[in-house]
Structure 1
Amino acid sequence: MEEKVYIRLRKKIRVKHNHLILLKDIAYLTGNISYLDKLDHLKIYQITEEDKNVSVIDGFHLLDKLIKAYPSLTFELVGPSQTIVEISKQKKQANILLVTAIWLLLFVGSAMAIINFHYDVSMQEVHQSLAYFFTGERVNKPLWIQIPYSIGLGLGMVLFFNHIFQKRFNEEPSPLEVEMFNYQQDLDTYLINHENVLNNRDNE
């Protein structure tokens, strides 16, 4: 009976600096051999200073390495054909002044964007027209419309983004999360097309 091993690569892993990557770190294995544990501990790649923040292990070159190590086995790759390796560096403590400055910048920028939008669409005149329509009186500052509108604007943004601080209202992703997911997908595709750990190192 043919001895066969099926390999499904993980799409992405995170490792520490100078980590020695084993096969079990980047792939799930199954097959009809009794020594899968031995394959699990096969050394695949040593993270070095040259790798910086991200590296990619290509499935084709991984198969080539496995076939050379175990020529009597048949390997079949299923699922993703690359594994992205994120190399985590030592985290630095957040600078409170920098965080505060960024928060203020975003706060003021968002406020200016909302104010300019309302000025462009003449929202004050719209509120005045609504007040005249409902009451028949001309009012320069119809607060009974403007205050609920302002509260509703804030609540609408909270519901739209599906977050209030760390709390989620439901499991549906927010538009921001969807955009971040799409950005991450594009970034992963770029990394896959421009990085190849085993190929580059084997050619040296």
Structure 2
Amino acid sequence: MDTIVYLRMKKNINIESEVNIKLEDISYISGEPSLVSNLKSITIHKPSKQDQQIFVIEAFSVIQKLQQLLPHVNFQLLGPNQTLIHIIKKNKKAKIPFVLVIWILLFVGSAMTIMNFHFDVSMQAVQQRLHYLFTGEEQKRPLWMQIPYSIGLGLGMILFFNHLFKKKFNEEPSPLEIEMFKYQQNIDQYVNHYENNLNNPDDK
């Protein structure tokens, strides 16, 4: 009777360039302990210059390779049929002048956006009217209202994005993190669809 080994492909993994991809990197393995320990070290793919930054490893090709090496083992696939590989390039140290230029552009752009929004909704006129309702006096610059409002606007943005530099206030994901997660999911789905069409031209 053949020995049964169960494989469950991981949905996606991140690897550094020029690192061999082993079976344990792309799948969870269950079976006889001695056999599993040997299977973990089997190299499934060697990254080359032709590989793009994102590519797919199909479970079918993995099982095919494993059966060639171990014909007496019965491999059973559970879960996803493929693993998405993200090749991470080594991060270079950011240059200070470049960071400063980007920071200034973002700062000026954000400030212009906030000012244009307040101009569109006549925020200054609203604050002047509120000052008149509270005090009975007309004031062009009700600073007692404008200064706390400006501080509250900044604090509100920090709380909304749940970040202050690298510090996070709680474990709840921020709206920006959720949008980035959705964006990554869309990229993964596109790559999966594109790879499947290349491997199965009849499915187009």
TM-score (norm 2): 0.88
Is 1:3–1:33's contact at 8 Å kept on the other side of the alignment?
no
- What is the Cα deviation at residue 135 of structure 1? 1.0
SS at match of 1:195: helix
Offset from partner CA, 1:101-139 (integer Å, 9 cap, x none): 111111000000000000000000000111111111111
Letter matched to residue 179 of structure 1: E
Corresponding residue pairs, total: 198
Residue of structure 2 in register with 1:170 after alignment: 170
**Letter of the structure 1 residue corresponding to residue 134 of structure 2:** F
1:106 is matched by which residue type in structure 2?
Answer: L
More deviation, 180-189/113-122: 180-189
Per the alignment, residue 53 of structure 2 pairs with: 53
User: How far did residue 28 of structure 1 move?
Assistant: 1.4
Q: Give the 3-state SS of the residue equivalent to 2:170 in structure 1.
A: coil
Give the 3 Å change call, closer, same or farther, for CA 90–176 of structure 1 in structure 2: closer
Q: 8 Å contact 2:2–2:72 — kept in the other structure?
A: no
Instruction: Write the letter of the residue equivalent to 2:148.
Output: P
Query: In the aligned structure 1, how far is the partner of 2:132 from the partner of 2:77?
Result: 71
Shift of 1:33: 6.7
Q: 2 CA distance for matches of 1:142 and 1:89?
A: 52
Counterpart secondary structure, 1:76? strand
RMSD, aligned α-carbons: 1.9
Find the residue that maps to 1:51 and give its secondary structure: coil
* 1:63 maps to amino acid: I
Q: Contact 1:24–1:41 (CA<8 Å) still a contact in 2?
A: yes
Equivalent runs, 1:140-179 vs 2, <5 Å: 140-179=140-179
Task: Name the SS for the 2:50 alignment partner.
Answer: helix
| C-alpha spacing 1:170/1:16, structure 2 compared with 1 (3 Å) | closer
Runs of 4+ in structure 1 off by over 3 angstroms are none
Corresponding position of 1:91: 91
The offset of 1:143, in angstroms, is: 0.8
Cα distance in 2 between the residues matched to 1:58 and 1:121? 54
SS at match of 1:35: helix
1:35 equivalent in structure 2? 35
Instruction: State the partner residue of 2:11.
Output: 11
- Where structure 2 has 5 or more consecutive residues not aligned to the other structure, the ranges are none
Aligned to 1:132: 132
Q: Which moved more, 1:61-70 or 1:41-50?
A: 61-70
Partner residue, 2:65: 65
C-alpha distance in structure 2 between counterparts of 1:132 and 1:92, whole Å: 56
| Range with greater deviation from structure 2 (59-68 or 139-148) | 59-68
Find the aligned partners of 2:67 and 2:172 in 1 and give their Cα distance.
Answer: 44
SS for the counterpart of 1:182 is helix
C-alpha deviation, 1:2, in angstroms: 4.7
TM-score w.r.t. the length of structure 1 is 0.88
* Percentage identity across paired residues of the two chains: 53
1:5–1:33 contact (8 Å) kept in structure 2: no
Equivalents in 1 of 2:129, 2:163: separation in Å? 34
Structure with bigger RCO (C-alpha 8 Å, 6+ apart)? 1
